[in-house]
Structure 1
Amino acid sequence: MSSQVLDTPPPTPAPADDDLAALAARHGLSVSGARPTLPEYVRQLWDRRHFITAFATAKLTAQYSQAKLGQVWQVMTPLLNAAVYYFIFGVLLGTKRHVPDYIPFLVTGVFIWTFTQSSIMAGTRAISGNLGLVRALHFPRAALPISFAIQQLQQLLFSMAALVVILLCFGVPIAFSWLLAVPALVLQFMFNAGVSMIMARMGAKTPDIAQLMPFVLRTWMYLSGVMWSISKLTKGDHLPHALTIALETNPAAVYIDLMRYALIDSFHSSQLPPHVWAAATGWALVAGVGGFIYFWKAEETYGRG
């Protein structure tokens, strides 16, 4: 028995991590799912731009495929929401008495708010709701929240056709100021996409956030002047100055006010908060660039665990 113990060869020592790294590098191996550099990540996204737009269009087409009215619901849903808000806030609470062109004012606010709300909600589930796709295919994960933001932009463009009809029916004339809607929507899209990427990273780590977001977004909507005029409320000195600044620089309210100024002739520049275009551009850059970098920093963690 003792001779057998003496004759047993000693165990082979495990190779050091440095040796394994050198061996992998010598044979051209790299870490699976490693985060690329930021410029390389941007290049990968650009290379997959056709996938991003095709994915967004496919999602939009499939969204109401089971409904009998199909894509009509893309316009009907925000219109029905506007009808409910008109009855509650415009009729029961009498808000319409203090706002000229209240129905165009309300419908514009509902449509623009819905764009932000739907983008953020879809972004929150962009990773956690598509784990099969994330784990099966290799692609820059930011493609998912960006494609969902594009999907909501496409849906808004359908709704804008109905909004134009409503504006004309209520006597709002076509004007050159309508062209301002284009840069306003571009800035809002950048903001929405950035916040969607922030929420996508948070939702990937903690999926329960998706259950909390409807309450957060509903509170945000009531603070954003969708159904009431912020300029009327903040007129005078009856509110604390900090609260007035917070209401006026609220990003959702900024983009809603810009669209109302562009489309409704009775909504004058005096009703816009100070430096509104600077605020809109600032929010777009902070959320868009900051959200993109924040999402990219966790690229290698998505779909794991």
Structure 2
Amino acid sequence: MSETLADYAARHGLKQSAARPPLRKYIQDVWARRNFIWAFASAKNISMYTDSRLGQVWQLLTPILNVAVYYLIFGVLLNTSRGIPDFIPFLVTGVFMFGFTQRSIQSGSKSVGDNLSLIRALYFPRATLPLAIAVVELQQLLTSLIVLMAIIFAFGEPLTFNMLLFLPILVLQLMFNIGASLVVARLGAFNRDITQLLPFIMRTWLYASGVIFSLPTLMGPGSKLAQYPWAADLLQMNPAYVYIELSRHVLLGKYSDYVENTLNMQHVGQLWLYAVIWSVVALVGGFLFFFRAEERYGRG
């Protein structure tokens, strides 16, 4: 009888190079490549603007220009700034923090498809690719935070210990971004149409996340949103809104006082609960979702 390739491989102890390992072993392999993830992200971050004359300066200019456009349209023309103290720091915080999640998800959706040659040439845990994308966006955000903090202090916000709470918020949002990136990375690996659809989804998400308006203000007495408490609850559970609003409460003391004293709303504790739940569910669920298709990436 002629021997099959499977029998031949078994007899010689050969294994499929891209076979999915046990979950624990896979996590260990990903952790062992943490230096590769950081180096890969740093190299990608540097190469991102090599073709432009201003280079890395665009990391600062892009969010600033976005803020300028949003302020002109929504702050000046549509007057969504009414009642909000120091609307510019409020808007900058929203744009920067939402952009962190937006870019992580949109870039993560292409992380597998754009690296097929690397996947087919070498074996490594494929989860390192969307993880590296999340690190790229973290590095860009850390650069942008220089501008954010400068604007906050320029509008008279004092340096307080409460601002240290921004660090755990950033960690929780990073965990959520990684999980979401892993989900869209698997979807985008097998259906590239996802990458075309995501910009429309993200734009809609932006308008529902309190980036350019204050949800507590819209929930005030006599407002239309106050007549539909279930809609207000859904908007408050929105993960993008949760991380943005928490960031505003710890960085912008005037805005925090405005919400708590003027609007009589004490919802920060609830936001912290939502933030932890979203980060854990997204990270664990996203990692498992991506892991289950490990042996399929790069085929075809």
TM range (shorter): over 0.9
1:49, distance to aligned residue in structure 2 (A): 0.7
Matched, 1:170 2:165: no
Structure 1 residues 274 and 61: alpha-carbon distance in aligned structure 2, compared to 1, 3 A threshold: same
Give me the CA root mean square deviation. 1.5
2:30 to 29, 42, 45: 45
Residue number in structure 2 paired with 1:298: 293
- Superposed structure 1 runs of 4+ greater than 6 Å apart: none
Listed one character per residue, the Cα deviations across residues 271-303 of structure 1 (whole Å, up to 9, x for unaligned) are: 645511111000000100100000000000001
Q: Which runs of 5+ in 1 are unaligned?
A: 1-12
Residue number in structure 1 paired with 2:177: 192
Q: Report if the CA contact (8 A) 1:231-1:272 is conserved.
A: no
CA distance in 2, matches of 1:242, 1:301: 41
1:66, distance to aligned residue in structure 2 (A): 1.4
Task: Return the TM-score normalized by structure 2.
Answer: 0.93
Q: Name the amino acid aligned to 1:304.
A: R
Q: Name the amino acid aligned to 1:302.
A: Y
Matched, 1:203 2:198: no
CA distance in 2, matches of 1:218, 1:166: 25
1:14, distance to aligned residue in structure 2 (A): 4.8
1:277 to 267, 272, 280: 272
1:241, distance to aligned residue in structure 2 (A): 2.3
Q: Report if the CA contact (8 A) 2:226-2:232 is conserved.
A: no
Q: Report if the CA contact (8 A) 2:138-2:174 is conserved.
A: yes
Q: Name the amino acid aligned to 1:185.
A: L
Listed one character per residue, the Cα deviations across residues 130-155 of structure 1 (whole Å, up to 9, x for unaligned) are: 11111111110000000000000010
Identity %: 51
Listed one character per residue, the Cα deviations across residues 8-34 of structure 1 (whole Å, up to 9, x for unaligned) are: xxxxx554x6xx655433321112310
Q: Report if the CA contact (8 A) 1:251-1:280 is conserved.
A: yes
Aligned residues: 290
CA distance in 2, matches of 1:273, 1:46: 34
Q: Name the amino acid aligned to 2:49.
A: Y
Structure 1 residues 271 and 89: alpha-carbon distance in aligned structure 2, compared to 1, 3 A threshold: farther
Q: Secondary structure at the match of 1:155?
A: helix
Pick which of 258-267 and 231-240 moved more.
Answer: 231-240
